[in-house]
Every structure is written in C-alpha cells, then in structure tokens.
Amino acid sequence: MNKKGKTAVFMIVATLLNLVLLIVFFVLLFILLFALLPSVFPQVMEMQSMSFILPLIWFAGSIFLSFFVYSKLIKWASARFDLENKLAPIFTPKKYRKERGE
C-alpha cells in the first residue's frame, strides 16, 4: 500500500476514534451532570437557569473533551510511530506544490 492509501486508512480510523471519543464523553458528562450532580447538590436543579446551562455544558463539554483527547492522541501517535514519514501530507503548503508538481 502506498502513502496515500495508508493516509486514507489512517484518516478513516482516526475519524472513527474521534466519534467513539465523542460518544464516550457524551455519555460520561450526561451521567455526571444529570445523575450525580443533582444527588450531590439538589439545590442546583431547582435553579431556573440550569435548564439552559446544563445541556449547554453537556454538549459543548463533550465536543471540547473529545477534540482535546483526539488531538493529544494523534500527536502522540505521530511522534511514537513516526507517521510523518509513513503517511502522505494531507495539506501541502503552496510553496511546495510547484516542486512536487501539484
């Protein structure tokens, strides 16, 4: 398999990993915010603003956490397995396109 094929497989697997991370953080934050938080702090759920703030924290937090963990994992894998030499660059800077014939 050439570099472009390896890059395509890597991007598909990385995208699936990102989706799995998003689902995991989505479920974990749901449990934390809507199951554990009211049992520990019952007065929090009585506040009117919490009906807007908790879902916002839930959605934004799960997206942020999945992106953060995903980026750290990709950086670690890139350094650990020397992926820069094994995969084709996804985006080539304009100054190098002419040299490569793109």
pLDDT value, residue 38: 77
CB atoms within 10 A of CB 8: 13
Q: For residue 14, which of 60, 62, 58, 76 has the smallest C-alpha distance?
A: 76
Residue 15 pLDDT class (50, 70, 90 cuts): very high
The residue among 1, 18, 5 whose CA lies nearest residue 77 is 18
pTM confidence score: 0.78
Q: What is the pLDDT of residues 45-71, one digit of tens each?
A: 677 777 788 889 999 999 999 999 999
